[in-house]
Structure 1
Amino acid sequence: MRGGAPTPAAGRRRFIAPARADVDPTRFAHPLFAAFADFNDVLVAPDFPGVAALDQRLGVPGKRLVAQDEDLLADGLHYERRIAAGCIATRAENWHDLFNALVWARYPAIKQALNARQCRDLDGEGSVGRTRAQAALTQFDETGVVVRVRDAALVHAWDRHAWDEVFPQGAEHWCSGTIAVAAVFGHALMEQALLPSRLLVGKCLVVQGDDDAQAVEQVARAIALGDVLNDPLELRPLPLMGIPGWHSDQDEAFYRNAEYFRPVREGREYPGPHGISR
């Protein structure tokens, strides 16, 4: 969602992805990339595919991946409006845009809902500037995760940032599917995951249920209807490397890292997951 993406805060260094040759292909066996196994050839090949070849390989419904160059940008269209018109501007040999394209191919309904919402907000933007909804939509597009849960008790522990209950003590719940990552959606999150050392935090929408695909469909509908992503504070942070099996060294000291497993801010409250009463 580059057309409305926020600029890095002062003093915060912009993430620079590693060169393709420096990425170990086995990195894509990490659970974070599990939903993109059908496109593993695109990820592990020694070279980036050309934009036209990527477009043909992915076949995004109703959209075309088009090379972002000066000729394309000369039309003056906002990035999101160009997508609404059918063209996804894509930079060649660029991890960020490659992952964006893969997410379009894997989760088109959510992507289309985000684009429609962004365009509606642009229509009403006037001189007010960036809205809270636009910020929420962009955050989810860049770092979003859909989490599916069955047990409200785990959500209440998450409310308190009681990470011991969510992760080490809750390990059996992750293993049994009582709580699960239904979709890693954020393409910036995937880009940062190229570096094994990164301790990633997803910004989550949470759905009650037993089926990952249904959870994704429910999120797409909720976004399209405007029921969610009207404010960034709706999104729940989740330290993804705390999930059992997502990090190589999940000992007691790891879970005591308060810079990563942060305590909840005073007064911070999260909306309840869809389908769970508070």
Structure 2
Amino acid sequence: MSEAAATPAAGRRRFIAPARADVDPMRFAHPVFAAFGAFDDVMVSADWPGVAALDQRLGVPGKRLVEQDEVLLADGLHYERRIAAGCIATRAQNWHDLFNALVWARYPAIKRALNARQCRDLDGEGSGGRTRAQAALTQFDETGVVVRVRDAAMLQAWNGHDWSALFLRWREDWSSGTIAVAAVFGHALMEQALLPSRLLVGKCLVVQGDDDAQAVEQVARAIVRGDVLNDPLELRPLPLMGIPGWHSDQDEAFYRNAEYFRPVREGRVYPGPHGASR
């Protein structure tokens, strides 16, 4: 995320992450962090890893984690252009940037695709300012989730925000993998997940298929081609704590919380899934 994008929108309260010492190491057993088990030591250790040590530990091919300080920012480069040149600006002792680094290590193809698209849009940016595509790319970078479905018909409930069908009637389909979270990609989601009380909403791209890794690859290719993330409205909101097993109190009253499980807006239309064979 760029330095400019780090500034909260007007009227929104900036999320304050808990201190490292206040995070229960067991928190990282939550499904949000399931794909990052290889980096448990980075998340649960009592002390923050230095940026240089983190760079060596993660070893992102072709990229270096570089501490973001006044000296680094003096080069005047846009955050995304600096990444394209090989350096990922990373704030020390910062959960948001730590999770960003972990996502670079775990899902480098999507990260590279997003960076390439951001730079492409910057090259074509006119006087109109931030484009719809740049907003979509940033939203997915911060809060993105890749969801895989075997049967596209399941999306009908999601299209209409029929959360009872999606999470309760089809509870076993989540367990069997008929529908599944292939990747939690957004590093802001991971940061917010540090608070057990946080009700997370992912912004999703959906792939039809049977294999999580292939779904992730499909998304990366689609981003590069420009098939997706040209407008924020392409992204499907998903109340992640509604997924069976993702929250401790999933009784009927929980699913009646309309502030979290929101009805669909009139006229809202979502795109279909991306076929795994494309």
Residue aligning to 1:141: 141
Give the CA deviation at 1:151.
1.5
Deviations 1:132-164 (A, max 9, x none): 000000000000000000122211110000000
DSSP-derived class of the 2:274 partner? coil
2 CA distance for matches of 1:274 and 1:34? 24
**Residue 114, structure 1, aligned to residue 114, structure 2:** yes
**Residue 95, structure 1, aligned to residue 101, structure 2:** no
Give the CA deviation at 1:6.
6.5
Give the CA deviation at 1:258.
0.3
2 CA distance for matches of 1:205 and 1:127? 30
1 CA distance for matches of 2:153 and 2:188? 30
DSSP-derived class of the 1:168 partner? helix
**Residue 244, structure 1, aligned to residue 259, structure 2:** no
Residue aligning to 2:202: 202
TM-score normalized by the length of structure 2 = 0.98
Residue aligning to 2:171: 171
Residue aligning to 2:161: 161
Deviations 1:27-71 (A, max 9, x none): 000011000000000000001100000000000011000000111
CA contact 2:2–2:78 (8 Å) conserved in 1: no
Letter in 2 for 1:61: P
2 CA distance for matches of 1:172 and 1:2? 40
Residue aligning to 2:105: 105
1 CA distance for matches of 2:6 and 2:132? 12
1 CA distance for matches of 2:4 and 2:12? 18
Give the CA deviation at 1:9.
3.2
Instruction: Say what the alpha-carbon RMSD is for the aligned residues.
Output: 1.0
Segments of structure 1 that go 5 or more residues without pairing to the other structure are none
Letter in 2 for 1:11: G
2 CA distance for matches of 1:98 and 1:23? 14
DSSP-derived class of the 1:5 partner? helix
Letter in 1 for 2:58: L
2 CA distance for matches of 1:218 and 1:87? 26
CA contact 1:205–1:235 (8 Å) conserved in 2: yes
Q: Which runs of 4+ in 1 moved over 4 A?
A: none
DSSP-derived class of the 2:230 partner? coil
Segments of structure 2 that go 5 or more residues without pairing to the other structure are none
Letter in 2 for 1:70: E
Residue aligning to 1:255: 255
The farther-off stretch of 8-17 and 63-72 is 8-17
Letter in 2 for 1:148: R
TM-score normalized by the length of structure 1 = 0.98
